[in-house]
Copies of this chain bind each other. A is one copy, B any other.
Amino acid sequence: MIDDVLAKVDANLQASLERLFALLRIETISTDPAYAGEVRKGAEWLVADLKSMGFAASLRETPGHPIVVAHDETVKEGPHVLFYGHYDVQPVDPLELWKTPPFEPQIAKGADGSEQIVARGSADDKGQLMTFLEACRAWKAAGGLPVRVSIVLEGEEESGSDNLAAFLAANREELKADVALVCDTSMWNAETPAITVMLRGLVGEEVTVTAADRDLHSGLFGGAARNPIHVLVDALAGLHDEDGRVTLPGFYEGVPELPADVKKMWDAELGFSAEQFLGSVGLKEPAGEKGRTALEQIWSRPTCEVNGIIGGYTGAGFKTVIPAKASAKVSFRLVGDQDPAKVSAAFRAYMKGRMPADCTVEFTGHGGSGAIRLPFAGKELAAARAALTAEWGRGAVLIGGGGSIPVVGDFKRILGLDTLMIGFGLDDDRIHSPNEKYQLQSFVKGARSWARVLGALRG
């Protein structure tokens, strides 16, 4: 049976690529309101595609971008999976660094000769979510799905998932299942599949410091007038101590140490090279907390990063201005039981405490989600590992993930579901960067992997 299904995946490669390219051409940038129409177009395309393979699919409105929900109604009993992916993408700036236009997908040759699908969203997450849809299509073409399948596709993952939790809560009954499947993570390397069992949470904060009520000439006022850029950079510089630790009071509450056996696997068994990992992007030495390995830093340690800063004159040439305002976007990656609300409150209290008398500070929250840790056992996890091992010819490893996938926390909290995070991205996919790509092999073997996982979950 599974051989039949895999043969269908292989036979349909050309058509499945054409479908993926059609989806990649839609400019679904969720964080920028100017692209709202394109985001909706992406949702509509997915509804039509799911209907075309027999799902009961619908576009659901939210206060933000729509959510796509689909149910297979042909399988009436047995295990029930809820699949999640997101069809929105990151902004494309700086556009001038793209070798080909971000929304004109193409197959390009990588430096290693491999074939790559190049486009914004190819890896994060359109290419990944389509591996699951193509696996379903193959099963249906081969006679029918092996388990009950429901699907949720989000349009706001890259902009804070502001409306997903409320949507899950409002549709709790409809979305009940036995286990969730999420395809938004990476393989361990190009040959080794992985299941992600730890994910960091995320808090995003935008902060604006205001001093004078207008921009000032630094010749007339310089020296006597408060410069909000100075106030902001002083405060941001104070967020880390000399050992790279975050200075916010209570920040490390709920941060667990790794169990010894997991630390041993990461230190000695995965064959991870910090030099290679950093060297691949032109860096030499691990930053961050002293005494922590690079793998710990990206998987199991919390961070504070300034993701953007702007103030004063930033155009060509020079302008001797003391600006009225300066602002920054600051994010925190959370682990263990760190509380997003507490971290946000500690950051805001810290910034307020750094303001001189004539400065005011304002904040905009950009979402918060706690970290996830799955138990290292469970029958679905065992079934999925076996299926991945069969497809790739290598044992699937259990790893951590540095980025947050808030929906996994929401699934646990709202729907009571554990999530199998299985994805086929690679570390060099340049997600969120210019020239994002997804290996053609990830797409092909990803679809085959999901076909196997669905079969294995039937039990």
Whether B433 pairs with A214 at a CB distance below 8 angstroms is yes
Determine if A143 is an interface residue (Cβ-Cβ < 8 Å).
Answer: no
Determine if A397 is an interface residue (Cβ-Cβ < 8 Å).
Answer: no
Whether B322 pairs with A318 at a CB distance below 8 angstroms is no
Whether B219 pairs with A403 at a CB distance below 8 angstroms is yes
Q: Shortest distance in angstroms between A361's beta carbon and chain B's nearest beta carbon?
A: 15
Q: Shortest distance in angstroms between A359's beta carbon and chain B's nearest beta carbon?
A: 9
Whether B287 pairs with A312 at a CB distance below 8 angstroms is no
Whether B212 pairs with A317 at a CB distance below 8 angstroms is no
Whether A281 pairs with B216 at a CB distance below 8 angstroms is yes
| A residues 292-340 touching B (CB-CB < 8 Å) | 292, 294, 297-298, 301, 303, 305-323, 326, 329, 331, 333
Known: A227-B305, A297-B224, A319-B307. A219 touches B402 (CB 8 A): yes
Determine if A394 is an interface residue (Cβ-Cβ < 8 Å).
Answer: no
Task: State the oligomeric state as a number of copies.
Answer: 2
Whether A224 pairs with B274 at a CB distance below 8 angstroms is yes
Determine if A33 is an interface residue (Cβ-Cβ < 8 Å).
Answer: yes
B residues less than 8 Å from A308 (CB atoms): 229, 311-314, 319, 321, 323
Residue of B158, B225, B430 touching A281 (CB-CB under 8 A) = B225
Q: Shortest distance in angstroms between A244's beta carbon and chain B's nearest beta carbon?
A: 9
Cα distance A93–B312 when bound, in Å?
A: 10
Cα distance A31–B320 when bound, in Å?
A: 12
Determine if A44 is an interface residue (Cβ-Cβ < 8 Å).
Answer: no
Whether A322 pairs with B297 at a CB distance below 8 angstroms is no
Known: A307-B312, A434-B214. A219 touches B200 (CB 8 A): yes
Q: Kindly supply a per-residue 1/0 record for chain A positions 195-239, scoring 1 wherever the CB is within 8 Å of any chain B CB and 0 otherwise.
A: 000001010101000011111111111111111011011101110
Determine if A395 is an interface residue (Cβ-Cβ < 8 Å).
Answer: no
Count of chain A residues with a beta carbon within 8 Å of a chain B beta carbon: 99
Q: Shortest distance in angstroms between A227's beta carbon and chain B's nearest beta carbon?
A: 6
Q: Shortest distance in angstroms between A386's beta carbon and chain B's nearest beta carbon?
A: 27
Whether A318 pairs with B229 at a CB distance below 8 angstroms is no
Known: A224-B298, A308-B319. A283 touches B237 (CB 8 A): no
Q: Shortest distance in angstroms between A20's beta carbon and chain B's nearest beta carbon?
A: 21
Q: Shortest distance in angstroms between A196's beta carbon and chain B's nearest beta carbon?
A: 11
Determine if A357 is an interface residue (Cβ-Cβ < 8 Å).
Answer: yes
| A residues 346-369 touching B (CB-CB < 8 Å) | 356-358, 366-367
Whether B217 pairs with A432 at a CB distance below 8 angstroms is yes
Whether B402 pairs with A222 at a CB distance below 8 angstroms is yes
Determine if A41 is an interface residue (Cβ-Cβ < 8 Å).
Answer: no
Identify 13 residue pairs between A and B in the complex whose beta-carbon atoms are under 8 Å apart, listed by A's number: A200-B219, A212-B281, A217-B432, A220-B298, A221-B298, A223-B292, A230-B306, A306-B311, A307-B319, A309-B312, A318-B367, A320-B331, A320-B432
Give A residues with C-beta under 8 Å from B. Answer: 30-33, 90-91, 93-94, 97, 158-160, 186, 200, 202, 204, 206, 211-227, 229-230, 232-234, 236-238, 240, 274, 277-278, 281-289, 292, 294, 297-298, 301, 303, 305-323, 326, 329, 331, 333, 356-358, 366-367, 401-404, 427, 430-434
